[in-house]
Amino acid sequence: MSEVIISAQKRETAGTSISRSLRRNGRVPAVVYGANNDAVAVSVDRLELGRLLRSDFSVITIELDGKKEQAVIKEVQVHPVRSDVLHVDFMRVAAGSEIKVTVPINYTGESAGVKLGGLLSIMKNELTMQVLPKNMPDTIEVDITDMEIGDVVRVGDLDLKDVTILDDPAVMLCQVHVTRKAAETLSEEEEEAAAEAEDGEAPEEG
């Protein structure tokens, strides 16, 4: 797991007017809580937070008062019209305790079935797992290179070490569907194979 760090500053006061003042100055109100420690009201840089929210990291490192502690984002409050982030809840993560997190799936490669004209359908883009912070992957890699037309990858097909996937093993992640183009390609290949077989069995003249 890679480390991504976001700097936080304590905010001594709370309230709507204070929060608005922070936002006008490019900061977002937040709170850090959990792991049997007191909740701390903080603020984080809006641009830094934006980059974090666009990344694939689930566990982050918060730097506050010269100290670092791991946390996960538990809740993000967004303005209903402008889509601005209004407030963020960070939950501390104890080093030896498992956490429940959602991790994005990254599909890699080009399916053999797609090369023949098939259509790849992706049903899930993330999985929920129980895992120690040190073992948590930033993404789940699913290689689709060998998928032929009609092939399906399910949750239960994944082999992930040191994690417990909480999604149903029978749930489909992706599937390569047959299309008219793919059916025509397969039909042509079958006809060519049949013709070659007939040529090979033809008796010699003379």
Question: Mind giving me the DSSP string for 153-190?
Answer: EEGGG---TTEEE-S-TT-EEEEEE--HHHHHHHHHHH
pLDDT for the residue numbered 15: 73
SS3 139: coil
Task: Tell me the CATH architecture of domain 5-94.
Answer: Beta Barrel (2.40)
Specify which residues 126 forms β-bridges with. 104
pLDDT for the residue numbered 101: 86
pLDDT for the residue numbered 117: 87
Q: Which residues of the chain have pLDDT under 50?
A: 206
pLDDT for the residue numbered 91: 92
Q: What is the pTM of this model?
A: 0.67
Cα 187 to Cα 106, 151, 201: the distances in Å are 32, 18, 21
pLDDT for the residue numbered 168: 98
Q: Are strands 119-122 and 99-108 parallel, antiparallel or unpaired?
A: unpaired
pLDDT for the residue numbered 136: 85
End-to-end CA distance of the chain: 73
CATH number of this structure's domain 100-201, picked from the four choices 3.40.190.10, 3.30.930.10, 2.170.120.20, 3.40.630.30 = 2.170.120.20
Q: What is the largest CA-CA distance in the chain?
A: 103
Domain ranges for the chain: 5-94, 100-201
pLDDT for the residue numbered 182: 60
